[in-house]
């Protein structure tokens, strides 16, 4: 696992072979962040982020490296949780808040809103198609906030009214959503 950009750029962390997690490839991660930074977000502008199904912590670390003020990482697997904690201790950050929880139980209980949310559930997760509606139903994004869902090629989200973009990098697919900004008339 490699950090693509920012203050931790070039740092490598070896992911144990015993991990069940499928880390987002460096190629896909780099291209996704190029799209996000060019079109949607300036991560070093007071951004708060939520990384769901954090796995190896690769996305959380990338967000922190790029300047996010605060990143909450949610991971249920105890081995993955311990690995993320170790990585965050290694880079000596105080801006990561790691929570060991089931994401599908965490979402309805979360009382905070974020500028950016990333979710990388197992591609075989039965509830994967419902994740965007859960995020929006529970108002986890600030107005204008961006949500990225990583998924396999068999999922389509273009019908969702908040869907704004789809990117495919090899076998990795990202669907990008934006929370509607409130107007004075609402």
CA distance 116 to 128: 18
| CATH class of the structural domain 46-178 | alpha beta
* Two structure tokens written together for 146: 């961006």
pTM: 0.94
Per-residue pLDDT tens for 65-102? 999 999 999 999 999 999 999 999 999 999 999 999 99
Q: Give pLDDT, residue 186.
A: 45
- Which segments in the chain show pLDDT lower than 70? 182-186
Using the CB atoms, write b or e for 121-151: b if 16+ within 10 Å: bebeeeebeebbebbbeeebbbeebbbbbbb
- Alpha-carbon dihedral 179, 97, 3, 41, rounded to 10 degrees: 20
């Amino acid at each position: 696992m490699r950090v693509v950009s920012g203050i931790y750029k070039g740092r490598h962390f070896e992911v144990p072979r015993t991990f069940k997690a499928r880390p987002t490839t460096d190629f896909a991660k780099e291209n996704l962040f190029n799209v996000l930074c060019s079109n949607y977000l300036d991560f070093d502008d007071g951004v708060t982020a939520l990384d769901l199904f954090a796995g190896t912590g690769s996305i959380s670390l990338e967000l922190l490296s790029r300047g996010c003020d605060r990143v909450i990482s949610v991971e249920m697997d105890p081995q993955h949780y311990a690995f993320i904690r170790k990585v965050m201790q290694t880079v000596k950050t105080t801006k990561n808040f790691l929570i060991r929880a089931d994401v599908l139980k965490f979402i309805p209980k979360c009382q905070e809103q974020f500028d950016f949310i990333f979710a990388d559930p197992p591609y075989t997760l039965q509830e994967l198609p419902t994740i965007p509606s859960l995020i929006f139903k529970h108002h986890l994004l600030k107005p204008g906030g961006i949500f990225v869902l990583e998924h396999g090629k068999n999922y389509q989200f273009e019908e969702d009214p908040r869907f704004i973009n789809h990117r495919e990098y090899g076998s990795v697919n990202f669907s990008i959503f934006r929370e509607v900004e409130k107007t004075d008339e609402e």
